[in-house]
Structure 1
């Protein structure tokens, strides 16, 4: 596949990793459907990048009817969907047991609902659209890229819900790739380490510096959203990348806290 003329669905596409993914897709001649709850940022991005290149639909990724409606609008505007990039996600910091009592079960369910169920909901419905495409010379019809986290492997104290949701994304990557192989659809997951994203927005500069110091290389810094977007492009363009989780983390291995 080539980025040029690729139509991609990007969840969480109004900010952070998703926004840079959208920008890179458009910069390389593709088109994007942004699924996000942030209506102001989504519409501003459409105005900036151009209505002919980008469509925004306010969408709850865990809601079936919301996603179906958004995908149908993209099909109507662009005529096809060839990729889905799942970046939408939320964080949570709560110990399994603390002085306030046990982990709030509703909060645990909420994190899994957005991060894990939302990812699966979008990819399954997007796969149905991608399967309609004519295969290229390799028999490929499209690709799905999911976002996990280094926390899927080394979750820190208080990350039970977040790590469970991201671990679930890692765990379903291979079976879904095997499921969709007969349709010529690849499935790859990216597991970012510490990146400069809105999830980091509430952290102090001192905390950011301390976290960056944990990265062996490059230069003991946080990752850039543009580096995530570049890997998404590589996955889209390289047909042998399939059924795998790729760590994008500067060799960091998270400590307990």
Structure 2
């Protein structure tokens, strides 16, 4: 991994003034500019045809979702089960693809936690929509998490750590915690609070301005072929 990282950095230095870089976070664009690149443009992800569908009021559980065959996602789910929901009586659902048996066993070891394996696309969207808190911790800050955007468009409260949102510009739409105790405290507080209508308007303004497919397509055209007239 270290050798591959070295080779990538060496290659980037060779092409930094010869290529146009399109990045999915502002932080990555700033990084290339610091390396001397004159053509680095932040272009947010192109998303499915999501319409902001946050529901006010209360959901009935907390949710962590992801591809559970990915080591990082499995680790996050285990951390939440063992360190955060270990002494909380609040319902917690883990959902995702191909969970390992040890995770399934752990999730079903308490009456207030469970795991839904390999939900279909519609079932997963229903879980995100019906959850009161979508919890999305991450162990790296590379790129932007599609599941974070899905939760912001379609869910209620969204609880993350710094690594999940670093460089995304989405801090205002999320609740942020770092330590196990901070996650516990935030979950306890948010679970008793209905999702406010005014928060929906905050997300609408933030997300629709940033993730506008038409304006972002124009950004790409102008970065490659120059300004449109």
TM-score range, shorter chain: 0.3 to 0.5
TM value normalised by structure 2: 0.43
TM value normalised by structure 1: 0.39
